[in-house]
Amino acid sequence: MLEILAAAAITVTGCQAPDWVADEAVAIGRAVPAKKVPPGNKAIQYCEYFVPQGADAVRVLYFDSQGEKIAEKRLAKATGSDASSVADDSLPEVNQKDFRLGEVREVGRSENGWTFRYRKNHDSQWRETTVGIQDLDVIDAGFDPYVREHWSQLSRGQEVAFGFASPVHGRVIRLRARSVSCQRADHARNHLCVKVDLAQPWLRWLAGDIYLVYSSDDRRLRYFDGVVNILDAGGDSQPLQIEYFYPSKPTS
């Protein structure tokens, strides 16, 4: 799961959450609209707090700009897995709930593979699909350890293709990741900038690209630009920019 960091509260301008959340969080993401407006005019949509739950699980708590909790996600090491430790980190079980809408996204290990469950809102029916173990490479935030595992290939400019879990669509989506030129001057040095899009050329027009920036020093995610997994207040998908903040010193 997430690397365990030194216990130190992170203060992020514009983010509001209970003190215990800020004190225990090992990372905070601040999300603002992706549209091109002056930085000072970008209203915060939400802040996400990553709080460890032992060695093998993480809670992600989402608070809006008023400090109200709007969603929560739990990432946990899959049980009964015979995969390697790296693959386990890339394939966590996920349970995500949006308290405003009643949307739920779940991915869990089952006897026959991986089971996706999805409910769009309080009034919707559940949709459930099971996919084969061999079809899936990455689930949710498992993309971060997957990037670190393939850091050398990405740094050399090689393309990395993988199967990504999409409980919303009830299937595995084939994606590709590759390094690109960094868009911001402050990311040009000591950062790896990565673009992710659909692997199938004839489908790329259906979805926007995702752009990510990782620090080369600690290989942590610093910046995200693309469609997020939290819907807007109306229940629609939303493209956002997220900047990530961490305590200064990791522990072994």
Residue 104 lies in a domain: yes
The percent of residues above 70 in pLDDT, for the chain, comes to: 85
Rounded CA separation 88/178 (Å)? 22
* Cα 46 from chain centre: 14
Place 152 in a pLDDT band, splitting at 50, 70 and 90.
very high
Task: Render pLDDT for 176-232 as a digit per residue (tens, 0 to 9).
Answer: 999 999 998 889 889 999 999 987 654 444 557 899 999 999 999 999 999 999 999
Task: Render pLDDT for 77-121 as a digit per residue (tens, 0 to 9).
Answer: 987 544 443 447 999 999 999 999 999 999 999 888 999 999 999
Q: For residue 74, what is the domain's CATH number?
A: 2.50.20
Domain count, the chain: 1
Residue 55 lies in a domain: yes
More confident position, 85 or 174: 174
Rounded CA separation 32/13 (Å)? 12
Residue 190 lies in a domain: yes
Residue 117 lies in a domain: yes
Predicted local distance difference test score (pLDDT) of residue 172:
94
Residue 128 lies in a domain: yes
Rounded CA separation 23/195 (Å)? 32
Predicted local distance difference test score (pLDDT) of residue 150:
97
Half-sphere exposure of 31 (CA within 13 A, CB side): 20
Q: Is the pLDDT of residue 40 over 90?
A: no
Residue 161: in which H helix or E strand, if any? strand 160-166
Which residue in this structure is represented by tokens 């693959």?
87
Strands (DSSP E) contained in 34-137 are 46-52, 57-63, 69-76, 93-98, 104-110, 113-119, 127-131
DSSP tag of 208:
-
Q: 144 lies in which domain range?
A: 19-245
Average pLDDT of the residues in 129-142: 93
The reported pTM is 0.89
Residue 45 lies in a domain: yes
